């Protein structure tokens, strides 16, 4: 398998008064194309920081990060923004939907930024909303959707531009058990069906149980990395 994400010697320091705080320390990590992987660990372990660095939302103090053949740590702000649009979908625990947009308009948002034609945007938005089980709810605004449905819209938006990678930060944190389990199973199925690489920062044992790769962080370092054998069908 080919590594679609590569981290080499990645460190992130924050200055707190006279003290340097290591959020991430000397991380070497390869994520293979098609992986459904979790980054787990207690609060403060560095998992969300590492996810942000990989997604180009922050820059490391030292080290190199490659995403789908591009060295993100070398890119200018504008080229980094373009890479995120083309290659990375994001799912956040707070959903981050535009409240005055319908579900379909929220999913179209990235495609608008990519200047895709209107007919193409609409067709793709409806396609991915159907994939996440929201067919018939395209015209509803977030306030008229349940938490679980809103997070499904967020997943559909992340998928809309056909990215190579989806990065998810605690996607089940605001969901009840039934909706959390349904979302996990949905993301796992989408990964298997589309080949999209999922990297999920989480402390939710239910999410970790579905992972085919389980990476643990402690004090900013990788403390365990286990690949789970998948039984042949």
What is the full DSSP assignment across 138-191? Answer: TT--GGGS-HHHHHHHHHHHHHTT--SEEEEESTTTTS-HHHHHHHHHHHHHHH
Using DSSP bridges, classify how beta strands 165-169 and 88-92 pair: parallel, antiparallel or unpaired. Answer: parallel
3-class DSSP assignment, residue 94: coil
**Domain for residue 215, yes or no?**
yes
**Domain for residue 10, yes or no?**
no
**Domain for residue 61, yes or no?**
no
CATH number at residue 96: 3.40.50.300
Number of domains in the chain: 1
pLDDT digit string (tens) for 129-184? 999 999 999 999 999 999 999 999 999 999 999 999 999 999 998 888 888 888 88
Confidence of residue 233 (pLDDT cuts 50, 70, 90): very low
**Domain for residue 105, yes or no?**
yes
Does position 69 have pLDDT exceeding 70, yes or no?
A: yes
Cα–Cα distance for residue pair 127/124, rounded to 1 Å:
5
Range of the domain at 187: 35-55+76-227
pLDDT digit string (tens) for 74-121? 899 999 999 999 999 999 888 889 999 999 999 999 999 999 999 999
pLDDT of residue 198: 95
Is pLDDT larger for residue 102 or for residue 19?
102
**Domain for residue 14, yes or no?**
no
**Domain for residue 115, yes or no?**
yes
**Domain for residue 40, yes or no?**
yes
Q: How far is CA 45 from CA 25, 121, 132, in A?
A: 10, 39, 31
pLDDT digit string (tens) for 48-65? 999 999 999 999 999 999
**Domain for residue 203, yes or no?**
yes
pLDDT of residue 1: 61
């Amino acid at each position: 398998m080919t590594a679609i994400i590569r981290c080499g010697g990645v460190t992130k320091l924050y200055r707190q008064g006279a003290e340097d705080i290591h959020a991430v320390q000397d991380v070497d990590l390869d994520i293979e194309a098609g992986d459904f992987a979790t980054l787990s660990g207690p609060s403060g372990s560095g998992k969300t920081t590492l996810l942000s660095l990989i997604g180009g939302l922050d820059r490391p103090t030292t080290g190199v990060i490659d995403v789908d053949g591009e060295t993100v740590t070398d890119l200018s702000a504008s080229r980094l923004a373009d890479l995120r649009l083309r290659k990375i979908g994001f799912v956040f625990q707070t959903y981050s939907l535009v409240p005055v947009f319908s579900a379909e308009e929220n999913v179209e948002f990235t495609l608008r930024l990519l200047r895709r034609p209107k007919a193409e945007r609409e067709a793709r938005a409806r396609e991915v909303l159907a994939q996440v089980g929201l067919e018939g709810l395209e015209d509803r605004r977030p306030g008229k959707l349940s938490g679980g449905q809103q997070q499904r819209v967020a997943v559909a938006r992340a998928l809309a531009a056909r990215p190579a990678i989806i990065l998810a930060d605690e996607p089940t944190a605001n969901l009840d058990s039934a909706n959390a389990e349904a979302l996990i199973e949905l993301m796992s199925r989408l990964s298997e069906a589309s080949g999209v690489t999922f990297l999920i920062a989480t402390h939710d044992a239910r999410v970790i149980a579905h992972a085919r790769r389980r990476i643990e962080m402690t004090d900013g370092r990788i403390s365990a990395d286990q690949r789970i054998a998948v039984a042949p069908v």
